[in-house]
Amino acid sequence: MTEAHLDPIPYLTDLLGPAHVLTGEDTRRHAHDWTGKYKGTPRALLRPADRDQLAAIVTYAARHRLPVVPVAGNTGLAGGAYCDGALMVSVERLNRIREINPRARSATVEAGVILSQLHDAAEAQDLVFPLSFGARGSAMIGGVLSTNAGGSNVVRYGSTRGLCLGLEAVLPDGRVMDVMSPLHKDNTGLDLKDLMIGAEGTLGIVTAAVLRLFPRPRAYATAMVAVSDLDAALDLLNRLQEATGGAVEAFEYMPDDYMRQLFRLRPEMRPPFDRAYPISIMVEIGATAPRDATPGPDGRLPVVQLLEDTLGEGFERGEVLDAVIAQNETQREEIWARREISAEICFSAAHVVDNDIALPLDRVGTFLERMTARLPQIDPAAESVTVGHLGDGNLHYTVWASSGSADLKETIREAVEDEVAALDGSFSAEHGIGLSKLSTMARRKNPVALDAMRRIKAALDPEGIMNPGKLVPPAD
């Protein structure tokens, strides 16, 4: 039980200094998440300078049974950093890029490094850290590891788990677990690194990591493509993967419901085509080989020519209806801007039911057909807005319900769960569980798997102080 009578502020102030122990109104910046849905009041917001200070905080909290909620960039969408009455521990001052190793193609970074800063540091060495999404200017490495973030480039590089070689974390009793191996192969028992990735701070606080870097593409071929249907889109994806040797970096699904709301809310953005189409795909290929990125005698890039040729074949088959290929970096950025604003678009309504799902690629269309028929039966006035990473089967299927009724929202969520389960999909692809999907976890996760998760949590955090109430629902 929490020692509610204890005042931890004097000890923590001595440890960190008064400028780094914030209370009351000074915690406002982290008292709510990006969506505005989850609002609380931290007992204090703590800003340790390094791993040892952070470990001292957790040791003290464990001794006195004080709940601890870790926070990084606070850009999550599932309520994973919600905090009310707990000690909120920010990793923002653990922000050093310790090393960029070009020969090993790795980066050793602390948890408070902002994703875009790592992008810049890697680019300075002609390398790339490929994880990217709209919040890259504020999301921090500790957060993306804790949620196993995905983003638009998963189709080529994988999610965060596949980009991490080793990490360091403070466990719920305050001890530091150092598995900062830079190795690509390390078969010495259980993979504790992977246990921490995606645990959303419930098993400890990530303080540093060794991350994989890749050659920076020498050229990109980027386009908006209108296709006849989802089968045609998947055929195009497969042909591009074969033609490029797996160099498709992004293959993003942007149907008419998304595009319509995008241009309604952001009219300054230009539509990609002269007319609207039911299905638009944003595709990007990254060329790392000089033969694909060196202009020919006509000044054209081979990777762009390859994309044009493949799209031309699609035109002849009637699968590709229209296409616009970026001719310069400004046009490429314009294409990406339409996609990266998606969170702002999807959360712009009053009554949002956010679904972050994954499906087998060939069943995405079936899911959408089923929900198009089912949603009006539940809420005739509801609207849906869909955008997603079609290259890996991840859809952000957002429903704008007609009211804020909790029962209505839960009924919609359960309907989505039904269809996802029937198609062998997952109800969480990249945003994590946090608070928003706890009821879904209780209904849909394999009971034996849930029991195993609870046992691991109890073994590492017997007092239940570390990010309590998140990720794993309580046992009945």
CATH number where 361 lies: 3.30.70.2740
Give the model confidence (pLDDT) of 342-400 as tens digits: 999 999 999 999 999 999 999 999 999 999 999 999 999 999 999 999 999 999 999 99
Q: Can you give the pLDDT at residue 135?
A: 92
3-state SS, the chain, equals CCCCCCCCHHHHHHHHCHHHEECHHHHHHHCECCCCCCECCCCEEECCCCHHHHHHHHHHHHHCCCCEEEECCCCCCCCCCCCCCCEEEECCCCCCEEEEECCCCEEEEECCCEHHHHHHHHHCCCEECCCCCCCCCCCEHHHHHHHCCCCCCHHHHCCHHHHEEEEEEECCCCCEEEECCCCCCCCCCCCHHHHHCCCCCCCCEEEEEEEECEECCCEEEEEEEEECCHHHHHHHHHHHHHHHCCCEEEEEEEEHHHHHHHHHHCCCCCCCCCCCCCEEEEEEEEECCHHHHCCCCCCCCHHHHHHHHHHHHHHHHCCEEEEEECCCHHHHHHHHHHHHCHHHHHCCCCCEEEEEEECCHHHHHHHHHHHHHHHHHHCCCCEEEEEEEHHHCEEEEEEECCCCCHHHHHHHHHHHHHHHHHCCCECECCCCCCCCCHHHHHHHCCHHHHHHHHHHHHHHCCCCCECCCCCCCCCC
Average pLDDT over residues 50-73: 98
Note whether residue 24 is domain-resident. yes
Average pLDDT over residues 69-73: 97
Mean pLDDT of the chain: 96
Average pLDDT over residues 9-38: 93
Tell me how far the alpha carbon of residue 120 is from its chain's centroid.
Answer: 19
Give the model confidence (pLDDT) of 335-353 as tens digits: 999 999 999 999 999 999 9
Which of residues 340, 356, 373 is at a domain's end?
A: 340
Cβ(455)–Cβ(475) below 8 Å: no
Give the model confidence (pLDDT) of 108-139 as tens digits: 999 999 999 999 999 999 999 999 999 999 99
Cβ(434)–Cβ(79) below 8 Å: yes
The type of residue at 99 is E
Note whether residue 2 is domain-resident. no
Note whether residue 467 is domain-resident. no
Tell me how far the alpha carbon of residue 440 is from its chain's centroid.
Answer: 19
Confidence band (pLDDT; 50, 70, 90) for 33? confident
> For residue 467, which of 432, 426, 422, 416 has the smallest C-alpha distance?
432
For the beta carbon of residue 116, count every other beta carbon within 10 angstroms: 15
The CATH number assigned to the domain holding 80 equals 3.30.43.10
Cβ(223)–Cβ(215) below 8 Å: no
> For residue 157, which of 233, 216, 107 has the smallest C-alpha distance?
216
Q: Can you give the pLDDT at residue 4?
A: 55
Question: In angstroms, what CA-CA distances link 192 with 6, 131, 227?
Answer: 33, 22, 44
Note whether residue 3 is domain-resident. no
Same domain membership, residue 173 and residue 232: no
Q: Can you give the pLDDT at residue 102?
A: 98
Note whether residue 131 is domain-resident. yes
What's the number of domains the chain is made of? 4
* Prediction pTM value: 0.95
Average pLDDT over residues 231-246: 97
Confidence band (pLDDT; 50, 70, 90) for 238? very high
The type of residue at 55 is A
The CATH number assigned to the domain holding 125 equals 3.30.465.10
Question: In angstroms, what CA-CA distances link 179 with 72, 113, 164, 169?
Answer: 21, 19, 11, 8
Give the model confidence (pLDDT) of 279-337 as tens digits: 999 999 999 999 999 998 888 999 999 999 999 999 999 999 999 999 999 999 999 99
Same domain membership, residue 256 and residue 161: no
Same domain membership, residue 154 and residue 115: yes
Note whether residue 445 is domain-resident. no
Is residue 1 scored above 90 in pLDDT? no
Which of residues 71, 90, 109 is at a domain's end?
A: 90
> For residue 36, which of 397, 350, 395 has the smallest C-alpha distance?
350
Average pLDDT over residues 218-225: 98
Same domain membership, residue 336 and residue 347: no
d(CA 89, CA 268): 39
Same domain membership, residue 255 and residue 327: yes
Provide the terminal-to-terminal Cα distance of the chain, rounded to the nearest Å: 20
Cβ(81)–Cβ(71) below 8 Å: yes
Question: In angstroms, what CA-CA distances link 239 with 234, 243, 321, 468?
Answer: 9, 6, 17, 47
Same domain membership, residue 352 and residue 325: no
Note whether residue 447 is domain-resident. no
Note whether residue 330 is domain-resident. yes
d(CA 281, CA 408): 32
Domain around 74: 9-90
Same domain membership, residue 224 and residue 211: no
Which of residues 298, 321, 340 is at a domain's end?
A: 340
Beta bridge partners of 252: 282, 389
